[in-house]
């Protein structure tokens, strides 16, 4: 990437060195920073900025850093969605980052499990020494492609720490021009997702050509038969395709359930009926010719590679005696595995990736 200065931002940046990613081909321009928007911000650590906007998709530019002090800043939007990973800046240095945010109600979990959230758009700048020197905000183009995520509590936008779904950590991988929409909720299974009006019936009408839909179920399909699980996934896959969008099946993350040095059947998401749910998802992917990210296999390699003790850091084992759900660290590791798998599939154009 070639650093360059953005025309029109010089008044805000006088006396500062300024670094930004080069413009990506095929993307519209990101909004220029508007100094007046900083009046919507308050606090020091974290810095919270609120904007009274209706539901929709918004392109955002942030200028991280400070004229006089070194800083370390990460950027979150709405219900703890990580938009920009921790970014270090020296005194007098600004770094420009852009992203697209989905503003919706409920703000977090789409089954309402975490409540409605707050109206409008909330940006949070946190980290060991957060600094923001400029914000730009504009409605995204109506044709902005979306990356939807459908899943359960291991995926969803968790409102309350330490719980964190891997879908919350996925947005950091993308620049403005693609919006991540996490249409998931705690407790969801392939059965309930199809049955609840807010879930599948709420998701499908939003889909259009150019969208990609990641689908992860299994953790709560504890008594779902193999036949029913395959039928449910097939219904979702065909419904996504009927809308012109592209489905991707994602096998579920493993649980930290060991027997000796290897994960046992519970850890590998074999349900109470003895159904190997990841294997059934692989079967559907093969039958329906659907792209697959084998997150079960990828997460198993990580967890067994760490071993029973070190793998506790990936889960809420110490905090909650919970070997299924993840804190920020574990969610980040698994989001990164998903991002690598998604990039390998080539369904999201290179111009949308932040790196």
**For residue 21, is pLDDT > 70?**
no
**For residue 260, is pLDDT > 60?**
yes
Rounded distance between C-alpha atoms, residue 44 and residue 184, angstroms = 32
Confidence of residue 27 (pLDDT cuts 50, 70, 90): low
Mean pLDDT for the stretch of residues 105-110: 92
The per-residue pLDDT for 9 is 29
Rounded distance between C-alpha atoms, residue 115 and residue 160, angstroms = 11
CATH number for the domain running over 146-345: 3.40.50.1110
pLDDT in tens, 143-194: 999 999 999 999 999 999 999 999 999 999 999 999 999 999 999 999 999 9
**For residue 38, is pLDDT > 90?**
yes
Judged by DSSP in three states, 289 sits in coil
**For residue 8, is pLDDT > 70?**
no
Are 182 and 81 in contact by the 8 Å Cβ rule? The answer is yes
CA angle 331, 335, 340 (to 5 degrees): 155
Rounded distance between C-alpha atoms, residue 210 and residue 133, angstroms = 34
Q: For residues 334, 250, 221 and 165, what is the CA-based torsion angle, rounded to 10 degrees?
A: 30
Q: For residues 236, 238, 240 and 243, what is the CA-based torsion angle, rounded to 10 degrees?
A: -140
Phi and psi, residue 192, nearest 5°: -70, -35
Phi and psi, residue 13, nearest 5°: -105, 10
Kindly report, as residue ranges, where domains of CATH 3.40.50.1110 are found in the chain.
146-345
Tokens 């909330």 identify what position? 122
CA 316 to chain centre: 19
CATH number for the domain running over 10-139: 2.60.120
The per-residue pLDDT for 3 is 26
Confidence of residue 108 (pLDDT cuts 50, 70, 90): very high
Percent of the chain with pLDDT over 90: 89
Cis peptide before 106, with omega less than 30 degrees from 0? yes
Kindly report, as residue ranges, where domains of CATH 2.60.120 are found in the chain.
10-139
The per-residue pLDDT for 128 is 96
Cis peptide before 163, with omega less than 30 degrees from 0? no
Tokens 């407790």 identify what position? 187
pLDDT in tens, 203-212: 999 999 999 9
**For residue 25, is pLDDT > 60?**
no
Are 277 and 249 in contact by the 8 Å Cβ rule? The answer is no
Cis peptide before 46, with omega less than 30 degrees from 0? yes
pLDDT in tens, 268-289: 999 999 999 999 999 999 999 9
Confidence of residue 6 (pLDDT cuts 50, 70, 90): very low
Mean pLDDT for the stretch of residues 127-139: 97
pLDDT in tens, 45-102: 999 999 999 999 999 999 999 999 999 999 999 999 999 999 999 999 999 999 999 9
Mean pLDDT for the stretch of residues 121-127: 98
pLDDT in tens, 319-331: 999 999 999 999 9
Rounded distance between C-alpha atoms, residue 174 and residue 209, angstroms = 19
């Amino acid at each position: 990437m070639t650093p360059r200065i953005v025309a029109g931002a010089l008044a805000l940046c006088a006396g500062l060195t300024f670094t930004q990613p080069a413009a990506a081909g095929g993307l519209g321009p990101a909004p220029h920073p508007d100094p007046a928007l900083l009046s919507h911000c308050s606090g020091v650590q974290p810095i919270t900025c609120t904007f009274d906007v209706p539901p929709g998709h918004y392109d955002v530019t942030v200028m991280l850093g400070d004229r006089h002090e070194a800083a370390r800043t990460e950027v979150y939007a709405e219900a703890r969605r990580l938009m920009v990973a921790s970014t270090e800046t020296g005194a007098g240095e600004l770094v420009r980052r852009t992203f697209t945010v989905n503003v919706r109600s409920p703000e977090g979990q789409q089954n309402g499990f975490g409540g409605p959230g707050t109206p409008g758009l909330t940006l949070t700048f946190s980290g060991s020494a957060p600094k923001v020197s400029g914000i730009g905000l504009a409605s995204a183009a109506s044709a902005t492609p979306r990356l939807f995520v459908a899943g359960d509590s291991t995926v969803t936008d968790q409102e309350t720490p330490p719980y964190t779904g891997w879908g919350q950590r996925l947005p950091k991988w993308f620049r403005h021009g693609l919006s991540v929409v996490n249409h998931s909720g705690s407790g969801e299974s392939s059965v309930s997702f199809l049955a609840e009006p807010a879930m599948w019936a709420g998701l499908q009408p939003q889909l259009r050509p150019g969208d990609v839909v990641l689908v992860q179920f299994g953790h709560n399909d504890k008594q779902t038969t193999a036949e029913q699980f395959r039928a449910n996934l097939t219904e979702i896959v065909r419904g996504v395709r009927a809308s012109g969008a592209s489905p991707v099946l994602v096998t579920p993350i493993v649980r930290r359930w060991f027997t000796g040095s290897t994960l046992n059947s519970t850890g590998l998401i074999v349900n109470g009926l003895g159904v190997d749910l990841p294997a059934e998802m692989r079967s559907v992917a093969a039958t329906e010719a659907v792209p697959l990210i084998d997150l079960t296999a990828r997460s198993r390699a990580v967890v067994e590679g760490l071993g029973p003790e070190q793998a506790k850091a990936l889960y809420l084992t110490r905090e909650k005696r919970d070997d299924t759900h993840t804190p920020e660290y574990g969610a980040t590791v698994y989001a990164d595995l998903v991002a690598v798998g998604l990039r390998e599939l080539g369904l999201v154009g290179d111009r949308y990736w932040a790196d």
